[in-house]
Amino acid sequence: MAAPAFRKLANGWRIQRRVIHALMIRELVTRFGRENIGFLWIMVEPLLFAGLVATVWRFMKGPEEHGVGIIAFIVSGYIPITLFRHGMSRSVSIFISNSSLMYHRQIKILDFIFVRFIIEFLGGAMGYVFIASILIVFNEFPVPANIGLLIAGWMVYAVFTLSICFIVAPLSEISEVMEKFIPVITYIMVPFSGLFTMASWLTPTMREYLLWSPFVNAMEMMREGIWGNKITAYYNVWNPIICSAVAATIGLALCRHVRRTLTVE
């Protein structure tokens, strides 16, 4: 009994991988075409945002703040938040725009969310590695003190972002108003993202409130992974994990509801 069940599971996983791969190619060609640098734009976009903001802050604040290099500090915060902002915006009206593909039995509505998120995730990760490598050469970014903690923080941040996309995608199908609120939401969350500050720079009261944010906990993990003992990081890894599980549960229930009411065109 176990062998047939395993073969069925393996076959299903193989089909799902092919579906995800095909949808990713379709999405990349649709978004970036086949000319110029093509899919590499997924890396260039976060690099441009992070580089420009870091340059502005370098001129405004000087080379360091609280003993931390300002360029490395802004880059380490802005690329993750770009993942969140792009992931949110790409999730809006995602089902309607791909409804014609729902004729294929192997394609599920969650595949569309996964594909767009994976593209943004890979672009952000590639951009992070590329710009950090360049800045390390110019002594503007430290060699990570704990690469494992840095990767863990990035993954926790990404998983929570994905769980939010599970909610945004179906809500945007239920109400068109959601599309108007997305830019507002992404700007409102900036003070609660840990982008421009660290928990150790705040008063104990402010720190306590800020650490309710899953983004801040993940960001603190990444920054301790980068600077190690040179900074004091505050985080609870269970905060973003539990919040991700709750958000994903809500999002999957909403996706299930939308699938039942979605009209295939």
Task: Mean pLDDT check: name the lowest of 37-51, 61-75, 105-119, 218-232.
Answer: 37-51
- Left (φ > 0), alpha (ψ -120 to 50) or beta: where does 188 sit? alpha
Buried b / exposed e along 186-213 (16+ C-beta atoms within 10 A)? beebeeebbbbbbbeeeeeeebeebbeb
Q: Can you give the pLDDT at residue 191?
A: 79
Q: Report the predicted TM-score, pTM, of the whole model to 2 decimal places.
A: 0.87
Name beta bridge partners: 65. 68
Question: In this predicted structure, what is the pLDDT of residue 180?
Answer: 76
Predicted confidence band of residue 36 (pLDDT cuts 50, 70, 90) = low
Structure-token match 């269970």, residue found: 238
Q: What are the tens digits of pLDDT across the range 245-260? A: 999 999 999 988 887 7
How far apart are alpha carbons 207 and 58 in whole angstroms? 25
C-alpha to C-alpha distance for 229 and 259, rounded to whole angstroms: 49
What average pLDDT does this structure show over 172-192?
A: 78
Q: Where are the domains of the chain?
A: 13-261
The average pLDDT across 214-243 equals 93
Q: How many CB atoms lie within 10 A of CB 42?
A: 22
**Residue 28's pLDDT band (boundaries 50, 70, 90)?**
confident
**How many whole angstroms separate alpha carbon 182 and alpha carbon 91?**
10
Determine the Cα–Cα distance for residues 220 and 152; give it in Å rounded to an integer: 11
